[in-house]
Structure 1
């Protein structure tokens, strides 16, 4: 299967969690986010479960039916958990029964794993804190910051408050990203389907997320900038489609 960040709810996913690196408090919101991209056929959390450091994970493992994978810390300062997760990921890859992987860690050690999985045509979703090194973020098809997920979290910061229009318009990188994506997918009248715009943005910036700016949906973010026209189109028996247009473009003359 070709890499596609919108492979759909029928996609078979493996969720592999570096429990040594991720707080248990995000478990519920993490699995809710995963459900947006497909069905978690494999759910595993890796760590040394004989110690007390992962005690907070216990109730979440049971509630979410996540399988704990025991990995002893053989040597101080060496992360055996990472190696165990990578080995299992490759075994699952060669089983040829999955459409994608969710790698949950803020550790750059998984950069090459993400690259290898994508080279095999599988979609890779990364999950980690904002401190995650950029190489790992860029190696994924899509990267979701744990701080953006709703629900309890003890990460560095919770969901962001909505950024006002002035702040959004002053963010040159954001404005250029949005405008370029709309232009690339627009028709002769300048209208672009929002779903296509979102896919174009993610291909350029795997970690792009409207929630980073305090907006739950891309359509809300684009409307908040006041730089785009937003049009919801519906027809009998069909779902509503959202289209956006750079409002700097001249409107076509009436027929």
Structure 2
């Protein structure tokens, strides 16, 4: 028995968590069964993990771990289990941005994309897995090929540190909700070839976000992990650009 990518119209079952009607292929015939929808499970994990980070709970609680086991048992995620788990437990992984982009309906353009459409579920899951994989690679590289103390705006040692203050940036991450920019470094800096692909959005066929966009311990604070050597296109982004961006780039429906 194997699941077929799809989601029905059945609402959540009270008291039993988020369930959807999903088709299962059994000996060539499709049968509809109630089972958890992977997006709902992932949203629960994001919500719980965010609270844990904000409350400085050192380890995921049992309910968070149970939800993760359920997610990683899904055929879409089982091939990427170790990568997705490592990213979701990391205090700098942009949990909120995953929900704001990959899992959010597209509403701000001339067309509407319902992210529960059956035909795009596998592609969306691959985008989540790609975000996890590239984030972990970027974080490893900050130690392997660069000195994080001179590259990032905050130390990446797993502890809370004062954030930069006094500037105009709200650290909301909206300007980074794009697939990539031209990887032109500031004067005197050279990016490794792999970083060029990561910055320009071509490092993975399912890349949707910049891997250097980190979140600060579950808070609504996002920062560039290569802030001090960010591409010239990003460094030249000013308050007027920010105001325009926050109006024009609002493509995704926000959670109520």
> TM-score, normalised to structure 1's length?
0.25
Which of the two has higher C-alpha Rg?
A: 1
Higher share in strand = 1
Larger RCO, structure (CA 8 Å, separation 6 or more): 2
TM-score, length basis structure 2: 0.25
